[in-house]
Amino acid sequence: MRCFVHQDRDAIGSCKACSRGLCPECATTLPYGLACRNSHEDLVKLAYESLTRAAQIQSSYSRVRYLGAAVFAILGVIMAALGASSGEPTMPFYLGSGALLAVAVTMFVAQRRAYGKTQAPGKPDA
């Protein structure tokens, strides 16, 4: 690969923002990659910070992944109890509780499918 600006020079790598080849004169070496000197340093830094924040959010998500399903299930049980204790069959309570319980079960199943199979990095599926 050749430097984008200096076509007669070999590139030492490519810019993380624009993927252009860079020679030592055109590259700024950052702790997390190369960037075009005086052009893309801020953009590469911002991309790195965004990825770091996204990874932090993703790691915290594992602690609350079933919270939504639990809230809907609790509301469904409360509505069913209110409907059953009202003394007469009130259709809105039963329909509402059934809908909330169905949403809770659907959310739980979807979460299990998406995130339920946790494995160590580099290990093949069993």
Cβ burial of 40 (10 Å; 0-12, 13-18, 19+) is: buried
Residue 59 placed within a domain: no
CA distance 37 to 26: 5
Cα distances (Å, whole numbers) of residue 6 to 14, 18, 21, 25, 92: 13, 16, 9, 9, 73
> Region 67-87: what's the mean pLDDT?
74
Q: Which domain does 93 fall in, by range?
A: 67-112
**Whether the predicted pLDDT of 62 surpasses 70:** no
Question: Is 126 a member of any domain?
Answer: no
pLDDT of residue 126: 43
Question: What phi and psi values does residue 95 have, to the nearest 5 degrees?
Answer: -65, -45
Residue 29 lies in a domain: yes
SS3 label, residue 20: coil
pLDDT at 111: 75
H or E element at residue 28:
strand 27-30
* Number of domains, the chain: 2
pLDDT of residue 120: 47
Highest mean pLDDT among 17-26, 85-94, 99-108: 17-26
Tokens 């990825």 map to which residue? 51
Residue 81 in 3-state DSSP? helix
Task: Indicate whether 4 belongs to any domain.
Answer: yes
Q: What percentage of the chain has pLDDT greater than the value 70?
A: 80
pLDDT tens digits, residue range 3-57?
999 999 999 999 999 999 999 999 999 988 899 999 999 999 998 999 888 888 7
Mean pLDDT along residues 81-99: 70
Does residue 120 sit within a domain?
no
14, part of any domain: yes
User: Are 71 and 108 part of one and the same domain?
Assistant: yes
Cβ atoms of 24 and 6 within 8 Å: the answer is no
